[in-house]
Copies of this chain bind each other. A is one copy, B any other.
Amino acid sequence: MEQILPHLDSVFSIDCVLFGFDGKELKILLIERNEEPFKDWWALPGNIVGADESLDQSAARILYELTGLRGIFMEQYYAFGDPNRHPQGRVITLAYYALIRLGGDKEVRPISNYAKRANWLPITDLPKLAFDHQKIYDKGLEKIKRRIKHQPIAFELLPEKFTLTQLQHVYELVLGKKLDKRNFRKKIVSFGVLKELDEKQKGVSYRAATLYRFDKRKYAKLFGKEISF
């Protein structure tokens, strides 16, 4: 984000709310700033849009630099441009959210000159954020709440193969409320975008659940029809 302050009239940046799900909690990736303003505060990762980058490319780059991940689902959702949102000058920022399956292989590796460190923090217990980043985060959460009701974005937070209980768990965390198990299954299956696999969950000390996969083909065919939770 707003770490660099060239003497231009205005700066255009992108800030990202990276939502991660580790099987248990919904988290976002925050960086601890190493520079003024807001030194030592937690902030959303962001950066200035490069001269030859599209907006989506820029967002993907920012995410890559911070996590080493590519091919992550990201979407812009709101531009913040209050003249006073940055204490040192005019910075208009476009917010993106990203959805990431955590807890496997890849570690977050914060290699950034303006960040001390980066951490996945549960959204249920966030620190105070720098700039207007609380507002940006709030709007991002709002956005995915609406999105998850109509678009198949929940799968982006899960491994390729998942159980229906895990899927329900994602919905519950994002929507912030409990859902009925039987009704949830009935509905989600009725959309016809899940493929039931001949495979069971492994490594659990109880009856293993059936694994499912999101079937992009079927979804593409449905396109136009509205999914609705």
Identify the closest chain B residue to A56 (Cβ): B81
Contact B8 A55 (CB under 8 A): no
Query: How many copies of the polypeptide does the oligomer hold?
Result: 2
Q: How many residues of A contact B (CB 8 A)?
A: 20
Contact A55 B81 (CB under 8 A): yes
Q: Chain A interface secondary structure, helix, strand, loop or mixed?
A: loop
Scan residues 69-89 of chain A and give those whose CB is less than 8 A from a CB of chain B.
76, 78-83
A190 adjacent to chain B (CB < 8 Å): no
CA distance A84 to B92 in the complex (A): 20
Kindly supply a per-residue 1/0 record for chain A positions 31-53, scoring 1 wherever the CB is within 8 Å of any chain B CB and 0 otherwise.
00000000000000000010111
Select A92's contact among B9, B52, B55, B82, beta carbons within 8 Å.
Answer: B55
**Subset of 8 A-B contacts with CB under 8 Å:** A8-B9, A12-B12, A49-B92, A51-B83, A51-B90, A52-B83, A55-B82, A55-B92
Chain A residues in the interface with B (C-beta under 8 A): 8-10, 12, 49, 51-55, 76, 78-83, 90, 92, 94
